[in-house]
Amino acid sequence: MSPLRGAVKLSSRRGSARIATRAAAEAEPPATPVAPATPVVALLPEPKTPLTRVKSFFGGAKLDRAKLAALGASALLAYGFISNVNAVTLLIVSWVSFAKSTGLSPLAPGQWKAYLLTYTALYAVIGNALRPVRFSISVAITPLFDRFVAFLQRRLGVTKPVAFGTCVFLVNVCGTCTYLALGLRIVTAVLGLPLLPN
C-alpha cells in the first residue's frame, strides 16, 4: 500500500470518528445540574398543654353566624335568644357589682360612663369566653324554636315568615326586655342595692 493511500485512510478514519463523536454529543441531552438534597424534617404535633387546650376550645374553630345559618333560621333565632340572655345576665351582674362598690345606681348623675367600663370589662372576660357555650346551647334548643314557630303558624293561621317574625318579636324583644326589667328589679330589691338614683 502506498504512503499516500494510507494517509487518506487514516484521515478518513479520523473524520469518521469526529462525526460519530459529534452526533453522539448532539443526541444526548445536556446534563442538568442536580439540586442538593434538602433535609426532610418530620412535622411533629405540637404538645398539648393545658393552655393550648383552653386556646383551642375557646378560639379554635370560628363560631359565626354563617355556621348557624347553615343549620336553619331557627338556629339563628335560638342563638339570638341565648346571646340576649347572656348580655342581660352580665348587665345585671355588672349592675350589682357597680352598685355594691360605689353605693350608687349606674343611672345616678355622672356614673353611667364608669358603669359602662365595668360592663365592658365583664363582657370582654366572661361574655367572649362563653361564646362556644352559647353556640352549643343554641344548637340544642333549635328544635324548640322550630316547634314554637310551627305552633304560631297554626294558631294564628299565618305564613311561616310571619310566624317567624312574631316569634322574634315575642322572644327576642319582649322576652329580653321583660328579663332585664324583672331581673334588675328583683336582684336589687333582694340585695338592697339602688336601682334608680335617689
Q: Give the start-to-end residue ranges of the domains of the chain.
A: 71-191
Q: Give the pLDDT confidence score for residue 15 in this predicted structure.
A: 52
Report the C-alpha gap between 77 and 80 in whole angstroms. Answer: 5
Q: Which residue has the cell 316569634?
A: 167
Q: Give the pLDDT confidence score for residue 127 in this predicted structure.
A: 79
Mean pLDDT by 10 residues, the chain (198 residues): 48 54 53 52 47 43 57 85 93 93 92 92 85 88 93 94 94 94 94 88
Reduced to 3 states (helix: H, G, I; strand: E, B; else coil), residue 158 is: coil
pTM of the model: 0.63
Q: Give the pLDDT confidence score for residue 59 in this predicted structure.
A: 45
State how far the alpha carbon of 119 is from the alpha carbons of 65, 83, 102, 165, in Å. 24, 15, 14, 30
Q: Give the pLDDT confidence score for residue 72 in this predicted structure.
A: 80
